[in-house]
Chain A
Amino acid sequence: MNPARLLLLAPILFAGPLAAQDARLEARLAPETAREVRLLLDSARHAALPTEPLVQKALEGQSKNAPPPRIVGAVRLLLGALRDARLALGDDSPEPELIAGANALRAGAPPATLSALRRQRGRELTVPLSVLTDLVARGVGAAAASRAVSTMVGDGLADRDFLLLRTQVEQDIRTGVAPGSALDHRLSGLPAAAPPRQP
């Protein structure tokens, strides 16, 4: 090959293999586990999916003394959720939104809900999706949480409204209100009847 042409390709030739390495994985995982996780990271990179959540998942498994197949399985599961989130939210979905989408899917939100939210709201869905996941984590059913977030997005509510709802529902649950009832009660207090407004 013409040396000058090779010179122009040098950054690409070097950047690829280097980017595929992660010293944290090499230092903490068994060589074979690190190799399998690296393949999954390469796959994520190839699909332009975020890799840091996958690295953290592997490190969590190592820290908790999980057996290697379980570590690789958990990373693979998360990669699958990120792929599904990309499918549901679209190719232009930014990284934080993809991660929030993957979390929401793993919390039980249907992929169709994510796609519907995407169609309803042109801007980023990171906060609504995170609130959906947090509501489920607090004990609200996945279907009820998905419906609530869909309604709020449809009403054009802003990110701060989602965060306020989450705070209020959490407060109610701490005082002993059932999660589903807390959500219903707080939803009815939102300005849902108001015309769509800007964030």
Chain B
Amino acid sequence: MRDPSESEPAPEVRRAIELLREWPELGSGLEQRVLARLRDAGPPADRHRRGWGLVAAISGLALAASLAAIAMIRLPSGRGPQGASEIRFTLSAVEASRVTLVGDFNDWNPTRTPLRRMSATGEWSVTLPLRPGRYRFSFLLDGRTWQSDPQRPAALDPDFGTPTSVITVEHSAL
């Protein structure tokens, strides 16, 4: 039997579905109603202009709705951390003056997630809310040296020749 929580859509997908449900009800026979209105409207030239005006207006609405749906689907995982777990990343790097966490959860942005030095012994740390999933990541020391996480498994697809680790965040129900 499938765990219901496993088949539930992600929050972003649910938001997109809700957005699409908010579309105005067009009802059946829309095409017939539109054509009837066009027949009743002025001379042919006007009819064309009005027809294309209607197309432009509703196409604009469609464009706006498409943009909104795409934007909502692409919200970064850090937002709306429903079902997310707080994951602590730590690294011992005595010599480093700056350490950042870079990975699938922050679009591999080398500056977005800095670690804080916790002690003079060179312990660095940051805690992130992560939803269930598998994430590849690396630490970046002083903006130039990539380092894997010794506490977590190595990524098996080091396509770019630098040390990379993997973290699997489990569903809390498991």
Contacts and interface: CB of A to CB of B under 8 A. Distances in A.
A137 B154 contact: yes
Interface of B: 1-3, 6-7, 30-31, 34-35, 38, 48, 51-52, 54-55, 58-59, 62-63, 65-67, 70, 102, 104, 107-110, 133-134, 136, 146, 153-157, 159-160, 162, 164, 166, 168, 170, 174
A66 to B, nearest CB: 5
| Contact residues of A: prevailing secondary structure | helix
Contact of B2 (A6, A70, A124, A130): A124
B136 A127 contact: no
Contacts of A127: 174
Contact of B168 (A11, A94, A130): A130
A96 interface: yes
Interface stretch (A12-20, A35-43, A112-120, A187-195): A12-20
7 contacts: A3-B54, A11-B62, A56-B136, A103-B156, A126-B6, A133-B156, A137-B154
A29 to B, nearest CB: 12
Contacts of B146: 64
Interface in A172-199: 198-199
Q: Which of B104, B159, B170 has the most CB of A within 10 A?
A: B159
B37 to A, nearest CB: 10
Interface of A: 3-8, 10-11, 13-15, 18-19, 24, 53, 56-57, 59-64, 66, 70, 73-74, 77-78, 94, 96, 99-100, 103, 106-108, 123-124, 126-127, 130, 133-134, 136-138, 159-160, 163, 198-199
B134 A130 contact: yes
